[in-house]
């Protein structure tokens, strides 16, 4: 292509300026403010996410610890495999900050912040003024886009996923990129431009996005409808279809990782559909989790819709829902092709997941929340534009602008304040604090049992990533089917009890014959929860020694070092022994409590330091009922609980009271507590 040349004499020399360069300069002048705002939004979101980031492993996600370990070892995650997530996670493990788990958590923060910036740019595409040069319209578009992007950034559910290792924040970025490339291609088609790179790039990213969540495939019908509405007959050209097809196949080729890594699976449930055959590949990907899909009858759909609307209101409030409805209306009449694209994506996604039966349903709606944010942004921009035209009549437009900036800024601040406590996991070090002591306590050549499958990576992480204590036998690795012979003549420890009724149930249950049926489970170490830490599902963090000998649970000649004689519900705390009154953050605290049971019942004992609850356990750590039945202790005996607590490493220095309390096993909440004495943390 020829370009006109203009020779300009400047500073005694000749400079050639082309028409192409001038066009590029004009394009840059138009776009640099939006790129600058997007970068600022990215920085703000990342700063907040990083301030509330989980330091390492956690139980905030049921499979986050597995995703971390798989990324670090380049293994295979649970269905649907998540190859792209695994590879991106591996790249982040090379960052020189924190431990490996922290780095993968950080990936969620960075990519989540990237989706916030991408959301802003998408909204600018949807709300840009029809006539260039309208200062108020451009300003209203930018303000509405930035406001909505921050509203989404600090919504309860999305924020929760940007601070832990999970697929949902990275997937939001992939959805944003896919949508941005599709809209960019659509704009080229509307202008009559012929670009084969645009469909290739869109389809490539769409195919890659399946590696962060397979449900993105459900957006394909809406994508196809939009392209047909915009391109029409031109799309019948084989070259267009070839470019898009090649891009998608190249992106989807990532799933060849599944059969390549199928041999690394250690999850009994995943091995049932191992992707090393065509049938297994289908069951691991498109056919995964059939028991969760369309799990409700049509009669239950109204209730499921109500559940979704409640989740949506938790993100944006009723006023946000109203703005979204307004935005749908505006898009329908002003940009109908984009309306049908977005509403098609939104309705398919919501319809599928309102019929999905999972306990963590809220996170599956994040793409729908992202799409609804686009509607909110369009509605907000339209409202600002109308307000500006009204204010212009009295010459008060820019005074109104100042008020709007302040008001919308306060709304974002309120969103942050409302959701900070629920999403602040910066003090959640419970797993690391617990296992740091576990690996030190275990005798040489001992056996450590725990949960298996995807839920066992709080333990597997240390062996697979850091190769900790290779002398300790983990019967779950490398096979998920441990045999009793592997445990023979070795000291046996476990973080789960195999004598409970639910222990032998479910696809991840361990064989009951691994340990003697009459074994006792004696608590050796109790994990101390950090602030914001979610307790391990099913039970707290406890290391048990498996023994044939019962613990000294009921004694008659106790002499507590400190007498208390205080009543708590149906119990009396007679006294206690405290081995140390000075501890270090991340250290150990050994406590012995002496109880007299005044009234038979089930009691939950709570131990705390200052305002932190360290742990909650059933009186006798689950051994009391059996001990009474088998040993018939005297009625005047005292129940003795002796246990060691892993003190959170995030405790601040100073003197704090050691608390013991009673919690209701049925309704929750405290039934009273006693301050024992001050412990100095230093």
Q: Is a pLDDT exceeding 80 seen at residue 236?
A: no
Is there a single domain that holds both residue 391 and residue 442? no
Is there a single domain that holds both residue 369 and residue 455? no
User: pLDDT grade, residue 506 (50/70/90)?
Assistant: low
Is there a single domain that holds both residue 102 and residue 140? yes
Q: Which of 529, 549, 569 is the last residue of a domain?
A: 549
Question: Measured between alpha carbons, how far is 121 from 135 in angstroms, rounded to an integer?
Answer: 18
Query: DSSP letter at 425?
Result: -
Gyration radius of the chain's alpha carbons: 30
Please work out, in degrees rounded to the nearest 5, the angle formed at the alpha carbon of residue 502 by the alpha carbons of 499 and 503.
50
Domain annotation covers residue 10? no
Question: Measured between alpha carbons, how far is 612 from 529 in angstroms, rounded to an integer?
Answer: 8
Q: Are strands 562-568 and 554-555 parallel, antiparallel or unpaired?
A: unpaired
Domain annotation covers residue 14? no
Choose the weakest-confidence range: 128-142, 371-385, 606-620.
128-142
Is there a single domain that holds both residue 432 and residue 419? no
Mean pLDDT, to the nearest integer, of 590-618? 91
- Total domains in the fold of the chain: 3
Domain annotation covers residue 409? yes
Question: Measured between alpha carbons, how far is 65 from 71 in angstroms, rounded to an integer?
Answer: 10
CB 612 within 8 A of CB 529: yes
Q: Which of 389, 423, 457 is the last residue of a domain?
A: 423
User: pLDDT grade, residue 267 (50/70/90)?
Assistant: confident
Question: Measured between alpha carbons, how far is 425 from 163 in angstroms, rounded to an integer?
Answer: 7
Domain annotation covers residue 12? no
Give me 41's structure tokens. 């939004």
Determine the pLDDT at residue 323: 98
Give me 566's structure tokens. 């205080």
Name the packing angle between helices 197-209 and 168-190 (round to 10°): 160
Mean pLDDT, to the nearest integer, of 180-203? 92
DSSP letters spanning 572-618 = EEEEEEES-SEE-TT-EEEEEEEEEESS-S--EEEEEETTEEEEEEE
Q: Which of 484, 515, 549 is the last residue of a domain?
A: 549
Domain annotation covers residue 648? yes
Is there a single domain that holds both residue 441 and residue 588? no
Burial class of residue 582 in the structure, from the number of CB atoms within 10 Å of its CB (0-12 exposed, 13-18 middle, 19+ buried): exposed
Q: Is a pLDDT exceeding 70 seen at residue 12?
A: no
Helix, strand or coil, per DSSP, at residue 390: helix
Domain annotation covers residue 140? yes
Choose the weakest-confidence range: 162-171, 588-597, 603-612.
603-612
Mean pLDDT, to the nearest integer, of 239-261? 95
Determine the pLDDT at residue 391: 80
Determine the pLDDT at residue 522: 95
pTM equals: 0.92
Burial class of residue 382 in the structure, from the number of CB atoms within 10 Å of its CB (0-12 exposed, 13-18 middle, 19+ buried): buried
Determine the pLDDT at residue 17: 41
Determine the pLDDT at residue 333: 95
Is there a single domain that holds both residue 362 and residue 509? no
- Helices of type H across 449-522: 457-466
Question: Measured between alpha carbons, how far is 577 from 559 in angstroms, rounded to an integer?
Answer: 9
Give me 326's structure tokens. 């307004």
Q: Is a pLDDT exceeding 90 seen at residue 635?
A: no
Is there a single domain that holds both residue 396 and residue 442? no
Highest mean pLDDT, choosing among 258-262, 488-492, 671-675: 258-262
Give me 13's structure tokens. 């020399």
Q: Is a pLDDT exceeding 70 seen at residue 38?
A: yes
- Helices of type H across 52-99: 64-73, 83-92
Question: Measured between alpha carbons, how far is 507 from 509 in angstroms, rounded to an integer?
Answer: 6
Domain annotation covers residue 2? no
Is there a single domain that holds both residue 508 and residue 368? no
User: pLDDT grade, residue 501 (50/70/90)?
Assistant: confident
Is there a single domain that holds both residue 275 and residue 365? yes
CB 676 within 8 A of CB 578: yes
Burial class of residue 117 in the structure, from the number of CB atoms within 10 Å of its CB (0-12 exposed, 13-18 middle, 19+ buried): buried
Is there a single domain that holds both residue 528 and residue 604? no
Q: Is a pLDDT exceeding 90 seen at residue 7?
A: no
Q: Is a pLDDT exceeding 90 seen at residue 140?
A: yes
Q: Are strands 638-646 and 554-555 parallel, antiparallel or unpaired?
A: antiparallel
Is there a single domain that holds both residue 509 and residue 460? yes
Choose the weakest-confidence range: 129-138, 170-179, 212-221.
129-138
Is there a single domain that holds both residue 105 and residue 241? yes
Query: In terms of residue numbers, what domain contains 634?
Result: 551-682
| pLDDT digit string, tens, across residues 419-456 | 999 999 999 999 999 999 999 999 999 999 998 888 89
Determine the pLDDT at residue 668: 62
Name the packing angle between helices 64-73 and 457-466 (round to 10°): 20
Determine the pLDDT at residue 232: 79
* Percent over 90 (pLDDT), the chain: 73
CB 114 within 8 A of CB 173: yes
Determine the pLDDT at residue 665: 74
Determine the pLDDT at residue 447: 95
Round to the nearest angstrom and report the end-to-end CA distance of the chain: 73
Give me 289's structure tokens. 């989790």
Please work out, in degrees rounded to the nearest 5, the angle formed at the alpha carbon of residue 463 by the alpha carbons of 460 and 465.
95
CATH number at residue 655: 2.60.40.150
Domain annotation covers residue 488? yes
């Amino acid at each position: 292509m020829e370009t006109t040349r203009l020779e300009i004499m400047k500073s005694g020399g000749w400079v050639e300026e082309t028409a192409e360069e001038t066009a590029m300069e004009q394009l840059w002048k138009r776009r640099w403010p939006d790129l600058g705002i997007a970068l600022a939004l990215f920085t703000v979101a990342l700063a907040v996410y990083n301030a509330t980031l989980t330091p390492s492993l956690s139980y905030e996600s049921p499979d986050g610890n597995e995703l971390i370990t798989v990324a670090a070892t380049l293994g295979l995650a649970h269905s649907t495999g998540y190859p792209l997530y695994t590879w991106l996670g591996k790249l982040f493990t090379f960052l020189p900050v924190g431990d490996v788990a922290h780095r993968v958590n950080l990936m969620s923060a960075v990519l989540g912040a990237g989706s916030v910036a991408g959301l802003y740019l998408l909204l600018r595409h949807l709300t840009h003024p029809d006539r260039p040069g309208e200062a108020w319209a451009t300003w209203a578009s930018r303000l509405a886009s930035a406001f909505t992007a921050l509203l989404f950034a600090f919504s309860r559910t999305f924020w929760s996923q940007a601070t832990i290792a999970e697929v949902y924040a990275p997937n939001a970025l992939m959805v944003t990129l896919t949508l941005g490339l599709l809209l960019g291609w659509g704009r080229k088609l509307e202008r009559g431009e012929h670009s084969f790179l645009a469909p290739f790039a869109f389809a490539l990213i769409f195919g890659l996005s399946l590696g962060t969540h397979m449900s993105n495939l459900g957006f394909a019908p809406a994508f196809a409808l939009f392209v047909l509405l915009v391109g029409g007959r031109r799309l019948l050209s084989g070259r267009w279809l070839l470019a898009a097809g090649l891009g998608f196949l190249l992106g989807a080729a990532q799933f060849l990782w599944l059969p390549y890594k199928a041999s690394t699976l250690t999850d009994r449930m995943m091995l049932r559909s191992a992707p090393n055959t065509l049938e297994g590949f289908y069951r691991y990907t498109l056919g995964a989790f059939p028991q969760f899909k369309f799990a409700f009858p049509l009669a239950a759909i109204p209730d499921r819709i109500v559940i979704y609307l409640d989740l949506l209101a938790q993100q944006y409030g009723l006023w946000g829902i109203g703005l979204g409805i307004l935005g749908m209306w505006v898009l329908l009449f002003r940009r109908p092709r984009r309306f049908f694209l977005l509403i098609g994506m939104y309705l398919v996604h919501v319809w599928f997941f309102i019929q999905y039966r999972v306990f963590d349903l809220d996170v599956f709606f994040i793409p729908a929340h992202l799409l609804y944010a686009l509607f909110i942004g369009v509605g907000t921009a339209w409202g600002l534009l109308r307000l500006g035209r009204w204010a212009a009549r009295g010459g008060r437009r820019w005074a109104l602008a100042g008020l709007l900036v302040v008001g919308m800024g306060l709304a974002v601040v309120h969103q942050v304040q409302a959701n900070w406590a629920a999403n602040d996991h910066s003090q959640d070090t419970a797993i690391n604090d617990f296992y740091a002591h576990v690996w030190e306590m275990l005798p040489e050549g001992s056996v450590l049992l725990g949960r298996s499958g995807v839920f066992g990576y709080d333990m597997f992480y240390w062996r697979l990533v850091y190769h900790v204590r290779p002398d300790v036998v983990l019967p779950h690795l490398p096979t998920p089917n441990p045999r009793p012979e592997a445990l023979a003549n070795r000291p046996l420890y476990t973080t789960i009890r195999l004598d409970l009724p639910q222990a032998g149930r479910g696809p991840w249950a361990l064989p009951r014959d691994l340990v003697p049926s009459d074994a006792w489970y004696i608590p050796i170490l109790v994990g101390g929860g950090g602030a914001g830490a979610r307790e391990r599902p099913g039970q707290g963090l406890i290391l048990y020694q498996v023994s044939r000998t019962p613990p000294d649970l009921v004694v008659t000649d106790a002499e507590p070092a400190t007498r208390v004689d205080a009543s708590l519900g149906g119990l009396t705390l007679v006294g206690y022994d405290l081995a140390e009154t000075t501890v270090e953050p991340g250290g150990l605290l050994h406590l012995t409590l002496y109880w007299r049971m005044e009234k038979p019942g089930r009691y939950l004992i709570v131990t705390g330091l200052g305002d932190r609850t360290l742990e909650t356990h059933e009186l006798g750590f689950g051994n009391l009922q059996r001990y009474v039945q088998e040993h018939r202790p005297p009625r005047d005996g005292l129940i003795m609980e002796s246990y060691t607590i892993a003190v959170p490493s995030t405790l601040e220095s100073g003197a704090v009271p050691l608390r013991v309390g009673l919690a209701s096993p049925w309704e929750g909440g405290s039934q009273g507590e006693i301050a024992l004495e001050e412990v100095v943390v230093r």
